[in-house]
């Protein structure tokens, strides 16, 4: 079975980067490419339990400036969780075997249960609202007054995952303390009731529309309208994992035939790799 991807030599501009971040890391125009285009793609261990670490590794691998250099990892840690997920989706779509990125859903009508085949194209991804919220703020009103929050970043997510919290309430309070803007907000955290903490948690979670994404679909079989909740971050991971598996297959085929090393194969640009693979597929090798 041949596994070459049609999309592997495409690159698209990196989504909006907040001005402060751009200056802090002296960021030049950046581009996102597929996992298969990156020589470091095989270094990624998809079994790594902490998703933020894996995500930063993938983002570093697939983001380059016009000289082919990646920004330092700290830049990716400072991106909002929404922007990181958005980039992961773009990288997944660029390297997908078929376009649009397939999404498998099932009709919610129990007596039907028809499989619904939906897809997310690159254009659909660029129209997602989370692509624009890179430097946004969220304001939540509580009894003591309004509190402003910044959006969670990759490094916040990692710290929360690595921290130990005895229960969800303690974890939610820690999150509020980190994200509240200014001393006023973090002091206020101590006076918040548990209900207020829950409300703030819900509001903050709702700002990341990629984690709790809702897709409307009508079943072609029974015409039932359904709202499907999708975790687009998880969807991107699943496809990226498949991209790496296809890349491993390609390395195996080329190594078996041409006796090149893994390093030599990955140094060949993906368009040329795909060409060799298609020759082997057609029996011309």
Q: What residues from 216 to 255 belong to the interface with Zn ion (CB under 5 A)? A: 219, 221-222, 224
Q: Which of 201, 215, 245, 182 has its CA nearest to residue 106?
A: 215
Distances (CA, A) of 269 to 74, 273, 281: 28, 6, 18
Distances (CA, A) of 93 to 123, 125, 240, 265: 10, 9, 9, 23
Min separation Cβ 231 and Zn ion, Å = 22
Binding track, positions 181-220, relative to Zn ion; x by CB under 5 A: --------------------------------------x-
Taking the least distance from each CB to Zn ion, the nearer of 180 and 219 is 219
Min separation Cβ 223 and Zn ion, Å = 7
Q: Which of 37, 22, 18, 47 has its CA nearest to residue 237?
A: 47
Min separation Cβ 111 and Zn ion, Å = 8
| Pairing of β 63-65 and β 30-33 | antiparallel
- Rounded to whole angstroms, how far apart are CA atoms 57 and 73? 8
Q: What residues from 85 to 144 belong to the interface with Zn ion (CB under 5 A)? A: 107, 109, 112, 114
Min separation Cβ 107 and Zn ion, Å = 3
Q: Which of 102, 96, 101, 94 has its CA nearest to residue 64?
A: 94
Taking the least distance from each CB to Zn ion, the nearer of 72 and 221 is 221
Total residues contacting Zn ion (rule CB under 5 A)?
Answer: 8
Taking the least distance from each CB to Zn ion, the nearer of 20 and 222 is 222
What is the distance in angstroms between the CA of the first residue and the CA of the last residue of the chain? Answer: 15
Taking the least distance from each CB to Zn ion, the nearer of 220 and 285 is 220
Question: Which residue ranges make up the site for Zn ion (CB under 5 A)?
Answer: 107, 109, 112, 114, 219, 221-222, 224
């Amino acid at each position: 079975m041949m596994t070459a991807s049609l999309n592997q030599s495409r690159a698209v501009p990196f989504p909006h980067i907040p001005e402060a971040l751009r200056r802090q890391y002296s960021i030049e125009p950046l581009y996102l490419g597929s996992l298969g285009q990156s020589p470091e793609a095989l270094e990624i261990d998809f079994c790594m339990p902490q998703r933020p670490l894996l995500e930063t590794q993938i983002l570093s691998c697939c983001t380059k400036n016009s000289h082919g250099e990646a920004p330092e990892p700290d830049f990716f840690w400072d991106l909002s969780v929404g922007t990181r997920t958005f980039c992961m989706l773009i990288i997944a779509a660029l390297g997908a075997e078929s376009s649009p990125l397939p999404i498998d859903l099932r009709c919610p009508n129990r007596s039907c249960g028809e499989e619904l085949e939906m897809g997310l194209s690159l254009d659909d991804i660029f129209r997602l609202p989370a692509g624009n919220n890179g430097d946004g703020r969220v304001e939540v009103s509580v009894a003591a007054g309004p509190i402003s929050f910044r959006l969670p970043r990759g490094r916040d997510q990692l710290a929360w995952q690595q921290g130990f919290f005895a229960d969800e309430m303690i974890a939610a309070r820690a999150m509020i303390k980190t994200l509240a803007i200014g001393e006023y907000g973090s002091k206020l955290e101590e006076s918040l009731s548990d209900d207020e903490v829950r409300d703030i948690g819900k509001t903050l979670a709702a700002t990341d529309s990629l984690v709790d994404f809702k897709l409307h679909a009508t079943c072609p079989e029974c015409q039932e309208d359904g709202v499907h909740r999708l975790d687009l971050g998880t969807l991107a991971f699943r496809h990226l994992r498949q991209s790496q598996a296809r890349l491993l297959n390609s390395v195996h085929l080329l190594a078996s035939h041409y006796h090149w090393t893994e390093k030599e194969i990955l140094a060949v640009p993906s368009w040329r790799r795909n060409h060799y693979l298609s020759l082997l597929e057609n029996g011309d090798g």
